[in-house]
Structure 1
C-alpha cells in the first residue's frame, strides 16, 4: 500500500492562489509584450501597481487616523486628569483601567483577577468605579465604588493602610454610600499642618499676623511682631453684630472642614491641654466670638490672669484671684442670677430657656486652670451645681486646665460635659479623663499624647462633630484679642478699668467705614489716643435685625458721638458697669 499525501494546510491554501495569480500575471505580461511591445508591458505594470498603491494608501490613512484618535484620547484623558490633584492621577488611572484595577483589588483580597486557561474561564470580579463619581474635595478627591455582594464599608476600613499604599496617598477615609456602594476619600493635603488665622480680621491683617507668627525668633520678638501686624487691623464684624445663635468657627478638622460650636444650641464643654499645647488659642477664639455677641454675657474665672487679661474691660464678670473663696463667691452669684429666671419656664411653658436676647442673655462661664481650686470643697460643690443646673437656665460652663482629672472636676460634673477638646497631654491616662476610650482612639490615629502633635492640634468631639476627630484651632493670638477688646470698648465703653497703677494708653478708636448712617460690616482699629471713659452711655435697646450696625465715631476725649437722627441703626448700648466679682 502506498503512502497517502498529507492534506493541504492553511499555509498551502494561501500559497496556491498566489502561485496561480503570479503565473497568470506572467502570461498576460508576455502576451502584452508580444502584441503591443513596451507599451503593452507598461499597461500591465500600471494595472498591477495602481491597486497596490491604492491599498497601501488606504492602510496608511487608516493607521494615521488611528494614531490621531489615540492622541486625541490621550489628550482628553490628560485633560480629564488635570481636573484633579496630580498626586491622585495614578490612583484614578488604576481604578479606571480594568486590567490594573483587577490586579490591584485582587492583590488586596478585595476582588478576583480574570483567569483564562484551557481548563478555566473566569472573567474575574472586583469593585468597580462608579462612572462620574470622582469629585474634588478640600484635601484631595472622593470616589464611589460598586461593591461585590459580600462586601461592606467595614471590609474597606480594615484595608485602609493597603489602599493608601496602593494609591500612593498619605491617607484614605472610608465613608458609607447609597446602596451597595462605598465612598473613598483620598487625602493628599494635610490641613493640620497649616495655620488658619481667624477670619474676624480682614485678609491683609490675617496675612500679616500669619507672617509674624511664623517669623521665628524668641517669644518676645514674635509677640512684638504680632502686635505690629495688628496695627491698622480691620475687624470684619462690628461689636454686638453677632448672636449666640451664630456658629463660632473654632477649629479646622483633619478633613479641612470647619469645626464649630453653637452656644445657643449646645451645653457645657471642657478644654484640656498641657502647657504650650495651644489650649490658650482655643480659649481666645471662644472668648473673642462670645464677646462680640450682643446677647452673651461673658464670665471669666482665671487665677493665672492670662485668659482674663484681654477681656478685663469688656467681660460681664471677672475673677483672677487665687483665693478659691472669691472664685466660689462669684460662681454662686452667677448661679443665683440664672436661677432667678425660673419664672420664664411658666411663661414659655417649657423646661429649658432656648431663646436669648439682650434682655435674656446667655451666660458663658469660662473657668481656666480649674485645678487651682480643686482642693476647695465649696468651689467643687458650686461647680457641680453649675454643671447640673445652669444649662437649662441659659448658662454654659467651660472648665479648662492642663489635666481635668477626678481631683480637678468631679465625675458628675464631667458627665455633663458632652463637647470635649483635648490638646496634647502627657499620657494616656490624662487623655482618658475626657475620652474614656482613649486606647482604642489611639489605635485609630486619634492620639493626643504624641510628642509630635503640633501646637494647636487637638482631638475633639463636639455636637457639630459627634465622632472624635483631630482638628487645629483657628489662630487668634492674645495680642489680637486686645485689639478686639479695644474695639468693643470704643463702641460700648468699658465695664471696668484695667487694674494697673501706671498710666496706660487708651484703647484704639473704632472708625466706621463709609458714612455714619449706614450699616457697616467692618471697622478699622487705629492707634490709641487717650485714656478717659465715655461720660454717658446710650440706653440699651434690643436689635430686631441680624444686620451689622454702623459703629459710632469716637472723639479724642473718648466721648461717643451718637449716630445722626434718622439713622437706621440705633446707638449700641454699653454693658452694665456693676460688680466685677473682684476685690
Structure 2
C-alpha cells in the first residue's frame, strides 16, 4: 500500500511564513535592542520595552496587590476563619483591584485602577515603590483620576538623565519658553500668561543659575522688556545687560526701580480703565504696551538688614515686590524671583510675596526651611521629593503650582551661550523712560525705543 504525503494547505503555508517572520523580527529587535535604546529610547520602548512590561505587569498584578495589602477577602467570614486556622494568614483567592488597559507613552505607560470598598488613593501611593521594583521601571506615580479611580503612571526610562534640547522654529508663543524636560518626557514650559509669577530656589551649583540662563535665552528673541534686580553688584545679571531695559545692582537702586515699575503699572491701569478692559490683553494691538519680565536674583539681599538704617529700605523693597506681584499680571508685569535661601526669618514680606508667586521651582537646597517656603503650602509630596534630590543631579528640580507637581530638569544653557543670545537680540531691547531714569540708561546706547507690542506672537 502506497501512502502519499499530504500537501500543506494555503492557510498552513501563510501561518508558517508568519511565524518565521515574527521570529526573525523578534530576534532582530533583541539583537539591535541595546543600540536602538541608546540612539532612540522612545522607539526602543514602544517596540520592545512596552510589550515585555505589559506581560510583567499582568503576571505580577495579583501577587503584588496581595503583598502590598491591597487585596481583600471575597467574603468577610473567610477572614475570620483564616485568622483562626492559619494564624492570621490572608484568606485564599482574595479579590484584587481591577485595572484598566495599559496605555503607552513616549517614556512609560499608564492605566486606571478602580478602588475596592474601603480603599483610598493613599494606599496605592504607599505601594508605588513596590510597583516600580516589581515592574523594573524607573518610577511609579499614583494620582487621583476621579472618585473611586486612581491613575497609575509609570516612567520606564528616566528622561531627566540626559535631557535633549528640542528643535524649535521661531520664537514660539509670546511669554512662553521651553526650559527643560519633565519626568513624564513632556517639555518643561514656563508660560507667564498662565502662571505669571515664579519663585526659584536652589543651593550653589544646584542648577538655579542655569535655569535663569534658559529663561533669558528664551525671552531675549521675544518682543518683551527684561528688567534685572541683582543686589550682588550685578555679578549674575550684568552678563545680559545689553538686553535689559534696566538693571539695579544694589538695594537703593532696586527700591527706585521698583517704584518706577509701580508708576508704570499705574499708568497702564489708567489706560485699561479708560478703554474699559480688565487687562492689557483686552486693548487693541496698537495700544497694547510691551510686557515686562522682572528677574530678581538672590532675593535675600533685598530683605536682609545689618542695622536700623537699612530697615526702611528693605521694607520699601519688600512692599514694592508684593505690590507688583498683586497688580502686575493683569498689567503685563511678571516676576521671576530667585534665591539660594528663602525663609520666614527674612521677614514677613517674604511670606506675603510667596503667597503671590503661583509657580514654584525647588532645586537641591541645603536647609529644609527653604524647601518648606517654596513647596510646603502647595503639596507635601512635592516637598518630600525636593528633599531627596542628590547633589550629582544639577538642574533637577521639583516644580509645583495649584495644578500639581512634577520632577523636571532644565536644559544646560552655559552663561556664555546666554550672554551671546542676549547680545544677538540687543536691538530688540525696549526703551522704557521711567525705568531707565531710575537706574541710568545703558552706557553703550544699545536700547531702542519700543513702547508697545504690535501683535501677540
Query: Normalised by the size of structure 1, how large is the TM-score?
Result: 0.58
| Partner of residue 349, structure 1 | 276
Paired residues for 1:404-423 under 5 Å? 404-406=342-344, 407=346, 409-423=349-363
1:487–1:106 Cα change, 3 Å = same
CA distance in 2, matches of 1:539, 1:428: 44
| Partner of residue 454, structure 1 | 393
CA distance in 2, matches of 1:262, 1:72: 52
- 1:189 maps onto 2:157 in alignment: yes
| Partner of residue 78, structure 2 | none
1:115-137 Cα distance to aligned partner (Å, 9 max, x none): xxxxxxx876434554xx33321
Paired residues for 1:441-520 under 5 Å? 441=381, 445-448=384-387, 450-452=389-391, 454-462=393-401, 466-489=403-426
Kindly report the root-mean-square deviation, in angstroms, between the aligned alpha carbons of the 2 structures.
Answer: 4.4
Displacement of 1:350:
4.1
CA distance in 1, matches of 2:164, 2:95: 45
- 1:250 maps onto 2:179 in alignment: yes
1:545–1:373 Cα change, 3 Å = closer
Q: How many residues align?
A: 403
State the secondary structure of the residue aligned to 2:385: coil
State the secondary structure of the residue aligned to 2:335: strand
Tell me which protein shows more helix as a share of its residues.
2
Contact map agreement 2:292 2:333 (CA 8 A) in 1:
yes
Contact map agreement 1:105 1:112 (CA 8 A) in 2:
no
CA distance in 2, matches of 1:420, 1:394: 20
Contact map agreement 1:90 1:167 (CA 8 A) in 2:
no
Contact map agreement 2:112 2:151 (CA 8 A) in 1:
yes
CA distance in 2, matches of 1:310, 1:355: 35
- 1:106 maps onto 2:66 in alignment: yes
1:425-477 Cα distance to aligned partner (Å, 9 max, x none): 112122112223599437x85124644361111121146xx212221112221
- 1:273 maps onto 2:202 in alignment: yes
| Partner of residue 369, structure 2 | 429
Paired residues for 1:217-366 under 5 Å? 236-237=169-170, 244=174, 246-294=175-223, 296-304=224-232, 305-320=234-249, 322=250, 324-355=251-282, 359-366=288-295
Displacement of 1:312:
0.9
1:483–1:69 Cα change, 3 Å = closer
Displacement of 1:155:
3.8
Among residues 314, 318, 334, which one is paired with 1:396 in the alignment?
334
- 1:380 maps onto 2:315 in alignment: yes
Contact map agreement 2:198 2:337 (CA 8 A) in 1:
yes
| Partner of residue 89, structure 2 | none
Contact map agreement 2:228 2:295 (CA 8 A) in 1:
yes
Displacement of 1:372:
2.1
Contact map agreement 2:363 2:389 (CA 8 A) in 1:
no
1:159–1:486 Cα change, 3 Å = same
Displacement of 1:175:
3.9
Gaps of 5+ in 2: 31-43, 75-91
1:93–1:339 Cα change, 3 Å = same
State the secondary structure of the residue aligned to 1:142: strand
Contact map agreement 1:384 1:410 (CA 8 A) in 2:
no
1:539–1:460 Cα change, 3 Å = closer
CA distance in 1, matches of 2:72, 2:115: 13
CA distance in 2, matches of 1:250, 1:171: 23
Displacement of 1:148:
4.9
Displacement of 1:146:
5.7
Contact map agreement 1:197 1:476 (CA 8 A) in 2:
no
Displacement of 1:75:
5.5
| Partner of residue 93, structure 1 | 55
CA distance in 2, matches of 1:180, 1:382: 48
Displacement of 1:349:
2.6
| Partner of residue 577, structure 1 | none
State the secondary structure of the residue aligned to 2:259: helix
State the secondary structure of the residue aligned to 1:248: strand
Q: Higher relative CO (CA 8 A, sep ≥ 6), structure 1 or 2? A: 2
Query: Normalised by the size of structure 2, how large is the TM-score?
Result: 0.72
Gaps of 5+ in 1: 1-45, 115-121, 201-235, 501-531, 547-583
1:160–1:69 Cα change, 3 Å = farther
